[in-house]
């Protein structure tokens, strides 16, 4: 419990592994398409950057998003090891 008496819940990241699971347990979010994250820097509601690339060796866009204070979603891949720390 927290100081104000409310129960605290821990977030556990358990990604969906199959398309069957995705259909059965849809993610409660809407993806509205791609946006240039640099254009969203002054909009506080946009705090998540999704980079699904496993071929971007330097991961420049991920580093930029982190520098802008965004949460970053990246695949588990050797090219992203630095960011997973």
pTM above 0.85, yes or no: no
Q: Residue 17 has what pLDDT?
A: 74
Of the candidates 8, 25, 7, the one whose C-alpha atom is nearest the C-alpha of residue 16 is 25
Residue 71: what are its φ and ψ, rounded to 5°? -80, 140
Residue pLDDT, tens place only, 18-69 = 778 777 877 777 776 777 767 777 777 778 888 877 777 667 888 888 888 8
């Amino acid at each position: 419990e927290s100081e104000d008496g409310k129960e605290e819940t821990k977030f556990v990241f358990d990604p969906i592994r199959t398309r069957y699971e995705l259909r059965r347990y849809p993610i409660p979010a809407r993806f509205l398409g791609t946006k240039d994250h640099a254009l969203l820097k002054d909009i506080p509601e946009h705090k998540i950057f999704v980079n699904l690339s496993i071929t971007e060796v330097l991961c420049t866009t991920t580093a930029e998003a982190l520098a802008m204070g965004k949460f970053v979603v990246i695949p588990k891949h050797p090219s992203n090891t630095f960011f997973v720390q």
